[in-house]
């Protein structure tokens, strides 16, 4: 694997692969890699001739007071993980290689309407920052296919819409969430939990699983199910942000005729904001 910091070096390498008809799989990350990221890299490597992973802690997607400074940065460990995953290039650019020094000078993409609800409501501008960086990476790398985790389900839908609205020629693939043995979705921020908090954290998946079971059993009292989950989370020690049962494609609040649903949840535990979701396909 080659570690590359400059845009021109990466462009040059990838151009020669493209000229030779090779497909390029891209996995954008913010580093501190874990088994969840590994799944994305494995899929990219399986389905493409060349795999590029990017590590960039994107300041544009953090709001003031969020954990940009403290975000875990573990380059050496990340390189070791990627060396064992058939990754061909790690692109690890410096901030000013990618964006303007002063964020107010930076052109920003306005993410589509579905970016204003759920996480976008609590983190204004977050998805504009995500969309901007993803577009910049697409412009540099011109991947055949880019891989995103379904753990960040709202982000995944926004990126699919972005690519479709801007006619960007790239395939977008969503990869299932990797979880620990208690169901907690793996996340770079889990390292901030004490062992006691780690046990509590798995309640998040438990709560959405309970909703999923109720939906499968024919319960369509969406608001009651959402409120019950939020109460359970509060009792467990979380500060819930939202728990919403939505249509899986539009993220509109679920209607009783909808069959393709997603349950999305976000809650704070200690200093960490956790998100998770579960797809539900109903046949009644």
**End-to-end Cα spacing for the chain:** 49
Among 127, 148, 205, 222, binds ligand AMP (CB under 6 A): 148
Using rule CB under 6 A, residue 151 touches ligand AMP: yes
- Nearest approach in angstroms of CB 179 to ligand AMP is 7
Among 40, 131, 261, 278, binds ligand AMP (CB under 6 A): 40
Using rule CB under 6 A, residue 149 touches ligand AMP: yes
Stretch that binds ligand AMP, among 35-43, 74-82, 160-168, 217-225 (CB under 6 A): 35-43
Using rule CB under 6 A, residue 170 touches ligand AMP: no
**Residue number with CB closer to ligand AMP (225 or 274):** 274
- Nearest approach in angstroms of CB 29 to ligand AMP is 4
Using rule CB under 6 A, residue 154 touches ligand AMP: no
37 is an active site residue: yes
C-alpha distances in Å from residue 210, one per residue of 58, 206, 278: 34, 6, 11
- Which string of x and - marks every residue 179-198 that binds ligand AMP (by CB under 6 A)? ------xxxx----------
Stretch that binds ligand AMP, among 32-40, 206-214, 228-236, 257-265 (CB under 6 A): 32-40
b/e code 82-103 from CB counts within 10 Å (16+ = b): beebebbbbbbbeeeebbeeee
C-alpha distances in Å from residue 233, one per residue of 41, 118, 200, 237: 33, 17, 9, 6
- Nearest approach in angstroms of CB 44 to ligand AMP is 11
Strand partners of residue 172: 146
Among 1, 117, 170, 178, binds ligand AMP (CB under 6 A): 178
Using rule CB under 6 A, residue 152 touches ligand AMP: yes
CA distance 8 to 127: 27
CA distance 137 to 10: 11
Give the strand pairing for 239-247 and 89-91: unpaired
Using rule CB under 6 A, residue 276 touches ligand AMP: no
Tell me which residues are annotated as active site.
Answer: 37
The residues of the shown chain that bind ligand AMP, judged by CB under 6 A, are 29-30, 36-37, 39-40, 148-149, 151-152, 175, 177-178, 185-188
């Amino acid at each position: 694997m080659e570690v590359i910091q400059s845009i021109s070096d990466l462009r040059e390498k990838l151009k020669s692969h493209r000229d030779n008809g090779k497909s390029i799989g891209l996995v954008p990350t913010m580093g501190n890699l874990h088994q969840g990221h590994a799944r994305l890299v494995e899929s990219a490597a399986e389905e493409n001739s060349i795999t590029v992973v990017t590590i960039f802690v994107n300041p544009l997607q953090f709001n003031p007071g969020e954990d940009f400074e403290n975000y875990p940065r573990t380059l050496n460990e990340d390189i070791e993980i990627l060396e064992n995953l058939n990754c061909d290039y790690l692109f690890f650019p410096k901030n000013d290689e990618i964006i303007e020094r002063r964020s107010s000078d930076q052109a920003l993409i306005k993410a589509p309407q579905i970016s204003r609800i759920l996480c976008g409501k609590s983190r204004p501008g977050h998805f504009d920052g995500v969309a901007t960086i993803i577009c910049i990476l697409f412009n540099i790398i011109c991947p055949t296919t880019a891989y995103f985790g379904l753990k960040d389900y709202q982000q995944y839908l926004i990126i699919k819409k972005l690519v479709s609205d801007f006619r960007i020629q790239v395939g977008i693939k969503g990869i299932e969430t990797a979880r620990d043995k208690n169901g907690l979705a793996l996340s770079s921020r889990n390292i901030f939990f004490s062992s006691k908090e780690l046990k509590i954290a798995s309640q998040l998946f438990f709560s959405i699983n309970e909703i999923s079971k109720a939906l499968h059993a024919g319960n369509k009292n969406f608001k009651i199910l959402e409120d019950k989950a939020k109460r359970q989370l509060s009792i467990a020690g979380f500060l819930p942000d939202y728990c919403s049962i939505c249509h899986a494609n539009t993220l509109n609040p679920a209607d009783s005729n909808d069959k393709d649903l997603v349950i999305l949840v976000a809650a704070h535990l200690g200093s960490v904001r956790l998100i998770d979701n579960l797809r539900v396909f109903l046949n009644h």
